Chain A
Amino acid sequence: MTNPQDPATPASDRAVLALEPGDLSGHTIDELSDYLDAGRLPANPSIDQSASCQLALDALARLREVARTLLDVDVRNAPAADDNWVHRILDNIGLEARAGRDIPLRHPAPSAELVLTEGAVRGIIRTAGDSIDGILIGRCRFSGDVSVPGEPISVSVEASAVWGKPIMAAADRVRQAIHRELQTHTELNVTDIDVTVHDIHMADDAEADDQAGVR
């Protein structure tokens, strides 16, 4: 091959792969690309036995290989997503609260109307669940109409548990904590709290400190 360090030689003067049908035993680059896409199957002897086709296929495969890594290298070479960058994006989104439905609360004065939003109740559930050591709450769903007082409601939460701790015990504590907080802050008629641990995560530094008893 040619010396890549020699900028004096124009590209057109270099020995390059012949990629026209006349050079490729009558096949086209388009055909060879499709053949490569198909995993070189079904085998086409005319392509497989042509040395020039094999060279071209190898070159196409190399090109694809580089293409596949292109974005990863771009990301590695790009400046890291710093706080300014992230906050500029978040500020422009205007992350409106996801209030959801209104959940009524009784008020001593019959004329006054008091509600909690569904979003606020989800927040209460998240905080209650997160307070259990090693647990991170994910999605939280209600079934039953939370906007109707007294309606039976079941709560289902997804959670991720830290690696190395008993999951059943943690899930029980999550259930209890959520139940307690919902009792304290809402008038929802909660019939079930279903906790699904869908993932195990590794302890982050703070959790690792907790586990080691470090203050």
Chain B
Amino acid sequence: MTTAAPVRPLENAHDRTLAGRAADGDVRAFEVLVRRYGPLMRAYAVRILQSNDESDDVLQESFIVAWRQLPDLDDGGVVKSWLMRIVSRKCLDRIRARREHVDIDDVQPAAPASQSPPRLAEVHSTYDALGVALRTLPENQRECWVLREIAEYSYEDIGEAIGVPASTVRGLLARARKNLIHQMEVWR
């Protein structure tokens, strides 16, 4: 360049500006997107997968896909929901893979919720109460519930991912909701 142009800070830039620049190869713009939405994407993965290690992997894979596919994103203004869809698909892939690698008898652990009461004295807010209640749910109920309420998948998609009919998903969800309400209401 003929003149040393000032390097403009990008921290306050709009999503569309950042997505457009990153699509054109601006690594600095991509970094701002990672900083802006990485924490939400990670929180999402942790809730869906209930595993920090797997979540870190999923986050990494998601940003690899994002960098590669950004040039195909026409409207950079929707980059947030676009990133969330990527991480969501990656989480679903993990859940499917668990089903393939784990013996089916091993995926139904967990005592009924009433046998493992949450340690209510340690609960400080409704938010914490839900966290505790979720941990006491049987794995398949918890999975259905987060896929429905956090990921907002349809019964059919959830069923396909965890390898059961949609009707079974309904049943698991109903039981999850009952268990969660019981625990949450006790706390109220």
Contacts and interface: CB of A to CB of B under 8 A. Distances in A.
Given A81-B38, A139-B23, A66 B184 contact: yes
Interface in A111-169: 119, 122-124, 126-128, 130-131, 136-140, 158-160
Nearest to A14: B186
Interface stretch (A39-47, A86-94, A102-110, A186-194): A86-94
B24 A98 contact: yes
B39 interface: yes
- Chain A: number of interface residues, binned into ranges: 35 or more
Interface in A43-85: 56, 59-60, 62-64, 66-67, 69-71, 73-75, 78, 80-81, 85
B135 interface: no
Interface in B57-73: 59-60, 63-64, 67, 71
Contacts of A11: 113-114, 117-118, 120, 182-183, 186
Nearest to B62: A89
Contacts, number: 195
A139 B14 contact: no
Contact of B120 (A4, A74, A85): A4
Contacts of B11: 204
Nearest to B112: A12
A138 B23 CA distance: 9
Contacts of B2: 181, 184
Interface in B121-161: 121, 123, 126-127, 130-131, 149-150
Contact of B178 (A14, A19, A93, A199): A19
B95 interface: no
A176 interface: no
Given A11-B118, A78-B39, A89-B34, A66 B14 contact: no
Contact of A29 (B3, B174, B186): B174
Interface of B: 1-3, 5-14, 16-21, 23-27, 30-31, 34-35, 38-40, 42-44, 46-47, 59-60, 63-64, 67, 71, 76, 113-114, 117-121, 123, 126-127, 130-131, 149-150, 170-171, 173-174, 177-178, 180-188
A-B complex: 7 closest residue pairs judged by Cβ atoms: A139-B20, A138-B20, A98-B25, A131-B5, A74-B43, A138-B17, A7-B121
